[in-house]
Amino acid sequence: MTDYYELLGVSRDAGTDDIKKAYRRLARQLHPDVNPDPATQDRFKQVTAAYEVLADPQKRELYDLGGDPLSASGGFGGAGAGFSFTDIMDAFFGQGGSRGPRPRSRRGQDALIRLEVELAEAAFGTTQELTVDTAVACTRCGGSGAAEGSRPVPCETCRGRGEVTQVQRSFLGEIRTARPCPTCRGHGSVIPNPCPECTGDGRVRSRRSISVKVPSGVDSGTRVQLTGQGEVGPGGGPAGDLYVEIDVAPHPVFTRHGDDLLCDVHVPMTAAALGTQIDLPTLEADTGASDVDKTVPLDVPAGTQSGEQTGLRGRGVPRLRGNGRGDLVVRVVVDTPTRLDGEQEDLLRRLAEVRHEEQPSGQFVPSSKGVFGRLRNAFGPR
């Protein structure tokens, strides 16, 4: 390719004014009116061509990139070759020509529904029947979208290619842009007689029942994946997945913290002072378990203070991904009587005299442990 900078005698970073000056100087020397020699006239044409390219910013940029703006093709691909934008993209990304029609059958979308379960069901697992409203394959056309006795035919607009090419002219030459065919939407075929049931989509909405197995140990926010139970795709395509998000309902007795269960047990003041044993209901009682498992004995040592915690190992929630269970953490709440008859009041006054507590002096003890710190200490080191 001719070096236009060398022809004008300027550097590659020369400004527009320098290029003009160089051209005027050479034009005065090479103009046919001054020098009619044929060889000189050929050089004058070359210098003029160099000036035409380098004086135009767009043509100069194209020339610096290795093209020749004065060629019929726009500078790339040789004389007479059309500059195709899609050809360059194919060269970079390996498309290898036309992308072709898109398949009419595609995978369906995933679906999400929420399921509320009781705490015992989340802990020990359950199986429930759900009614879902999703897209299913049209039974009338078998998912093809065409009416009985008909079938899709090639699109006349794109001739089955699924795309149309738009040609634009610019200083680069011809720029061809391939786009999905507006008639067939890129499928390469049209359905002249759509199925009256699905109107050509190959699927319809339907309500159906499915069985959902909820594993033991799930918690609010856990998602159970049911493969192939989501939306059927257009054109009878494979179904997506259905995700069931678990929402655990509040329990009247127990509060869940991870795999542990927390509850409060109220005992009278006298029982806390003297010590006692109580039958503590378990979460198994909500599942119809045997009487043996419905309650567990809980020892309340003498002198237990209100707010103290104790625990029963292995009576919490089964671990979702692992063996064993969490613990049952019990907080003892000591109930102080609010109404006393005369005899009860006399007995308490006598007890206060014996313990020299007629006028106790209050003591302030700083608390350095939070609720969960006390929860951990209910079991000691593990």
**Can you give the pLDDT at residue 44?**
82
Is 41 or 261 the better-scoring residue by pLDDT?
261
Q: Amino acid identity, residue 335?
A: D
Is 94 or 149 the better-scoring residue by pLDDT?
149
Query: Is CATH 3.30.390.30 the right assignment for the domain spanning 4-70?
Result: no
Q: What is the mean pLDDT of residues 205-233?
A: 94
Give the full edge-to-edge strand order of the sheet including 309-312.
Answer: 255-257, 260-268, 328-335, 309-312
User: Do the domains at 4-70 and 106-150+195-250 have one common CATH topology?
Assistant: no
**Can you give the pLDDT at residue 358?**
78
Please choose, from the candidates 329, 313, 317, the residue with its C-alpha nearest in 3D space to the C-alpha of residue 264: 329
pLDDT in tens, 110-141: 999 999 999 999 999 999 999 999 999 999 99
Considering only the top CATH level, what class is 106-150+195-250? mainly beta
Distance between CA 84 and CA 281 in Å, rounded?
Answer: 79
pLDDT in tens, 3-39: 888 888 888 888 888 888 888 888 888 877 667 777 7
- 263-377 has which fold? HSP40/DNAj peptide-binding domain (2.60.260)
When pLDDT is cut at 50, 70 and 90, the band that residue 79 belongs to is very low
Domain range list for the chain: 4-70, 106-150+195-250, 263-377
**Can you give the pLDDT at residue 177?**
78
**Can you give the pLDDT at residue 58?**
80
Highest mean pLDDT pick, 46-60, 227-241, 281-295, 355-369: 227-241
pLDDT in tens, 179-195: 889 999 899 999 999 99
Please choose, from the candidates 190, 194, 192, the residue with its C-alpha nearest in 3D space to the C-alpha of residue 203: 194
Could you tell me the two tokens for 356?
A: 């020299």
Please check the confidence at residue 372 and state whether its pLDDT lies above 60.
Answer: no
pLDDT in tens, 295-344: 889 999 999 999 999 888 999 999 998 789 999 999 999 999 988 899 98
* Spatial contact of 151 and 169, defined as CB atoms under 8 Å apart: no
Q: What is the mean pLDDT of residues 165-186?
A: 76
Could you tell me the two tokens for 135?
A: 């897209």
Please choose, from the candidates 40, 15, 38, 13, the residue with its C-alpha nearest in 3D space to the C-alpha of residue 26: 40
DSSP annotation of 2 reads: -
Is 60 or 176 the better-scoring residue by pLDDT?
60
Strand pairing report for 328-335 and 260-268: parallel
**Can you give the pLDDT at residue 87?**
42
User: What percent of the chain lies above the pLDDT cut of 90?
Assistant: 45
Mean pLDDT of the chain: 82
Please choose, from the candidates 94, 123, 118, 48, the residue with its C-alpha nearest in 3D space to the C-alpha of residue 316: 123
Is 30 or 175 the better-scoring residue by pLDDT?
30
